[in-house]
Amino acid sequence: MNDTATKNRNVTSEEDREELQQFVTFTIGSEIYGVDVLKVQEIIGITEITYVPNSLPFMKGVINLRGNVVPVVDLRIKFRMEEREYDATTVIIIVEVKSRSIGMIVDAVSDVIDIAVTSIHDTPHFSASIETDYIRNIGRKDDLLVIILNVDKILTAEEMETIRKKEAG
């Protein structure tokens, strides 16, 4: 009797999880982006960034995160958008990629939202010239269109390698 009860509860909770997914959303320009909430370690205000010589353009440098040295990526540069001055709303979202911490500089952080799994769709095919690996899907919540990022692809060794080769060649 008890057994079936627990089973039933498990089933419902699993269904719940399947239905909704949580995302941290932020803005860059006029677009809203989202990152799986489980990937986000913390969000900090903009802080002093140490430039690392001979690094890729979108690597803004390294910051001190409570004694740990964490690399930060400027998503505007990464997404080939116009750079702009950092201001009071600029934040660094610390995400975990392959058990390492990486900071992403974004214009502003907005919210944590639930998106129904059924309203998350695959990305339409963009033109091939733009790297779209790091865009996972497009999610819709009410009128909001959220571009969901795959943080694992923001800074991968393979990607770094190909860029390196391009630069060399």
d(Cα 105, Cα 86) in Å, to the nearest integer?
9
Cβ distance 109 to 24 under 8 Å?
A: yes
Amino acid at residue number 146:
V
Cβ 10 to another protein shortest distance, Å: 27
The tokens for 76 are: 């505007």
How many amino acids of this chain bind another protein (CB under 8 A)?
22
Q: Which is nearer to another protein, 69 or 117 (CB)?
A: 69
Looking at residue 5, the DSSP 8-state letter turns out to be: H
Pattern 86-125, binding to another protein, x per CB under 8 A? Answer: --------------x-------------------------
Question: What's the CA gap between 47 and 86, in Å, rounded?
Answer: 10
Can residue 162 be called a binding residue for another protein (CB under 8 A)? no
Q: Does 69 bind another protein (CB under 8 A)?
A: yes
Among 66, 125, 165, 166, interactor with another protein by CB under 8 A: 66
The nearest distance, CB 95 to another protein, in angstroms, is 14
Our CB check for another protein shows the closer of 10 and 55 to be 55
Q: Are 139 and 146 in contact (CB under 8 A)?
A: yes
Please enumerate in sequence order all residues whose Cβ is within 8 A of that of 159, keeping only pairs 6 or more positions apart, or say none: 133, 153
Pick from 20, 38, 112, 160 the residue near another protein by CB under 8 A: 160
Q: What are phi and psi of 80, to 5 degrees?
A: 55, 45
Asked if 155 is part of the footprint of another protein (rule: CB under 8 A), the reply reads yes
Per CB under 8 A, residues contacting another protein are 48, 50-55, 59, 61-64, 66-69, 71, 100, 155, 157, 160, 164
